[in-house]
A and B are shown apart, each in its own frame.
Chain A
Amino acid sequence: MSVESLKCKECGETYELGASYACERCFGPLEVAYDFSGLDAAEVKRRIQAGSQGIWRYVDFLPFTGQPRDPLEPGLTPLVKADRLAERLGLDAELWIKNDAANPTHSFKDRVVAVAVAKARELGFETVACASTGNLANAVAAHAAAAGLESYVLVPANLEEQKLLATGIYGTNLVGVRGNYDAVNRLCTELAETRPWAFVNVNLRPYYAEGSKTLAYETAEQLGWELPDRVVCPIASGSLFTKVARGFEEWTDLGLISGDQPVFNGAQAVGCSPVATAFAEGADVCKPQKPETIAKSLAIGDPADGPYALEQARRSGGAIDSVDDDEIRAGIRLLAETTGIFTETAGGVTVGVLAKLAERGAIADGERVVVYITGEGLKTLDAARDSFHMHEIDPDLESFESEFESQEVAA
């Protein structure tokens, strides 16, 4: 196994592989450091292909020294070719949708939580917890239930009902906090100081974040061990965005894949766009915002990995754009109509930004583009309400025919 230590992303100070997340010297974020020099690419590839049908097939690249235990393994979600969507957008590109709603609790958060909960067990924790905008809440409650751990899930009290219901059902301690996500996050950071709990996205965040790399590994594997030319990915904290990039880089460095790294396009909602705003202004830090958007799963006004997401977009030649609530709803509709995939508001943001890129001619003919759809439409049903008309008729032929009289009836 290749995992070595925790290392500060800012100053390089190293720490033991424990439950810590911020550097004592400069307060920078800690990351998992590996030494992959002992890995042989051909051997690793064989091991992956003979591995499990989920993220543990990539265990060589995850922060474990043994085989992680996990009864609810996520991953190997479909990568779907989206020709009809490309056509609707006027693109002559090879467009793919990575449908990560097809995970155990219907979002990409199963990946990060599976890694964090397995690590929590390895470190001997009996209780896991999180600050969540909804999807993480579902995942932590479910994975804790499956692993037989106690859990505390803290969310903004005004979350979508579907996300509250799909969390409480797992028997967690669900705590609705009267405040926005950033307030919940601050509270959890304080709680992590006194409670002997594994907060997946606070004191276990370095491990948790590693789970997102599996989205890059799967994409490359599903494309036949090749890189995409461009990815479009939502940004909340910026962790997913930067870790997908890291995944592609690690495999390229090892020689599992080759070629230029993809261009990274980030997607935010106008009502919570600290990273897109900083990108537009040429700033290298994000000014925090008070979120006001239907894309609640992306409503982080103070994104922890904002500076790194900015760096990633810039050095890859990409951009970070934002779309408003109407464009988000239109994005959900467009994806549903052209691919049969019903995504939540975060997916609407991502598709909305894809449409924006297509419109401004940013995507060249023949480009291979992967769009990350990170969550399920059934969790944000309000966004679909009133977006179509239902025909209501009496149960007789006449009623049907008068409703559809303008349409031709086959003989």
Chain B
Amino acid sequence: MFVTVKIPTQLRAATGGDAEVEVSGSTVGEVLDAVFDAHGDLRERITQDGDLRRFVNVYVSGEDIRFQQGLDTAISEGDEVTILPAVAGG
């Protein structure tokens, strides 16, 4: 399943400036692994000991994955995965 992953400004130095990355995977975890395979620097920036860092939010088509199955959340055709800093608002 091919999906588009949207990369926030803060991480684009690690993607050579790309705002979007096209990868395939059937869960959020697989999709992120595919992104890390393409852009190795990203892994350390947004994960720690195999989990997302505490100030990283990931959304599948607008819905926070913490309300779903986290990294095991299934990806459907046409979904868009968005990575955003969790430090906004209030």
Contact = CB atoms under 8 A, between A and B. Distances in A.
B45 A22 contact: no
Contacts of B59: 186
B13 A24 contact: yes
Interface stretch (A50-58, A303-311, A317-325, A399-407): A303-311
Contact of A304 (B10, B45, B62, B90): B90
Interface residues of A, number: 43
Given A186-B59, A288-B66, A290-B67, A24 B89 contact: no
Nearest to A130: B89
Interface in B44-70: 45-46, 53-57, 59, 62, 64, 66-67
A201 B90 contact: yes
A360 interface: no
Given A183-B62, A285-B54, A193 B88 contact: no
B10 A29 contact: no
Interface residues of B, number: 26
Contacts of A303: 90
B31 to A, nearest CB: 18
Contact of B85 (A183, A189, A209, A285): A189
B54, B67, B86 pick with most chain A CB within 10 angstroms: B86
B85 A27 contact: yes
Q: From B11, B62, B87, name the one whose CB has the most chain A CB atoms within 10 angstroms.
A: B87
A189 B84 contact: yes
Contacts of B90: 201, 205, 209, 236-240, 300, 303-305
A287 interface: yes
B88 A24 contact: no
A304 B90 CA distance: 7
Interface string A97-140: 00000000000000000000000000000000001000000000
A288 B10 contact: no
Contact of A24 (B11, B19, B57): B11
Given A302-B64, A304-B88, 17 more contacts: A22-B55, A24-B45, A26-B53, A27-B53, A28-B87, A182-B64, A183-B62, A185-B88, A186-B64, A189-B84, A193-B19, A202-B88, A205-B88, A209-B90, A240-B90, A285-B54, A288-B67
13 contacts: A10-B55, A22-B85, A27-B10, A27-B53, A27-B55, A30-B87, A186-B84, A189-B8, A201-B90, A202-B88, A285-B54, A304-B86, A304-B88
Interface of A: 10, 20-30, 131, 181-183, 185-186, 188-190, 192-193, 199, 201-202, 205, 209, 236-240, 285, 287-288, 290, 300, 302-305, 307
Interface of B: 8-11, 13, 19, 45-46, 53-57, 59, 62, 64, 66-67, 82, 84-90
Question: Which 7 residue pairs are nearest across A and B when measured between Cβ atoms?
Answer: A237-B90, A22-B85, A29-B87, A185-B89, A202-B88, A239-B90, A27-B55
